[in-house]
Amino acid sequence: MTRWLSWLWLLALVAVPPSSRPAHAEVPVACAASEAFTTPEESLGHVAAAIVAGGPVNILAVGSATTVGDQLGTDRNTAFPFRMVEAMHAALPKVSFALTLRGGRGMTAEDMLPLLEAALTGPQHYHLVLWQTGTVEAVRGERPDGMVVALQEGVDRARDAGADVVLVDPQFSRFLRANADLDPYEAALQQVSALPGVVLFRRFDVMRSWAEDGAIDLERVGRGDRARTMAMLNTCLGDTLARFVLNGTGVAAN
């Protein structure tokens, strides 16, 4: 127990800077993503229909700390789902978008499932469910089959509610990779993303590509540059995820 808590805490230090970071960072050319990272394997019909109707496009984002900004000194409005919505609105200024966050630090897919179900059975109709998971399970060394069952159940609920689903895998971290076996959880996400109406956004791979290119590398910047780098990362992830979703709709930007 102590060991996995220590890992999560160290990851939190890497992932989240103090709240004094810039409110927004421009997307630099250096963190451009290839089509492989911005083209889903399946269309997102529910999102497309909502965009054509002019919105609102209602988005439910469920995840752990990096998704909901649930960490000390964090401004929730700078988490990558908020940046995604900003980028989508910038691309389609005539369409309204609304974001709801559910989840929290240290939560697994099984922990998130009741939150997801409660949101989907509420009065709000969501067109897109963004579900980030896998990191906490990997750090704890939990059996991936429990994660698969939870994801499949949540995906079924989302599809029954008329929503497209985008799964988001763990963030890239050399520290995490060296101390936990991510492969079973990546395989679990890929398995569930093969279901109709579900696609996988490969956050780990796109972050690794930026790190290898020397564009954004949280683990190799000085403490003084961490806030700026994290702001850039959230902005770039949001922009890349927005392009991924919009490319899945086939709707041209205004």
pLDDT (tens digit per residue) in 46-76 = 999 999 999 999 999 999 888 987 543 445 6
Domain-located, residue 36: no
Contact between residue 120 and residue 58 where contact means Cβ atoms under 8 Å apart: no
Domain-located, residue 32: no
Domain-located, residue 89: yes
**3 state SS for 222-236:** CHHHHHHHHHHHHHH
pLDDT in tens, 145-202: 999 999 999 999 999 999 999 999 999 988 888 888 999 999 999 999 999 999 999 9
- Could you give the number of structural domains in the chain? 1
Domain-located, residue 237: yes
Contact between residue 131 and residue 116 where contact means Cβ atoms under 8 Å apart: yes
Domain that holds residue 163: 2-15+45-248
Give the pLDDT score at 150. 97
pLDDT at 21 over 50: no
Domain-located, residue 253: no
Q: How far apart are CA 190 and CA 94, in angstroms?
A: 34
Q: State the residue for tokens 């988005």.
A: 59
Contact between residue 97 and residue 53 where contact means Cβ atoms under 8 Å apart: no
Percent of the chain beyond pLDDT 70?
83
Domain-located, residue 112: yes
- Give the CATH number, domain containing residue 222: 3.40.50.1110
pLDDT at 240 over 50: yes
Domain-located, residue 39: no
Give the pLDDT score at 170. 92
| pLDDT band for position 29 (cuts 50, 70, 90) | low
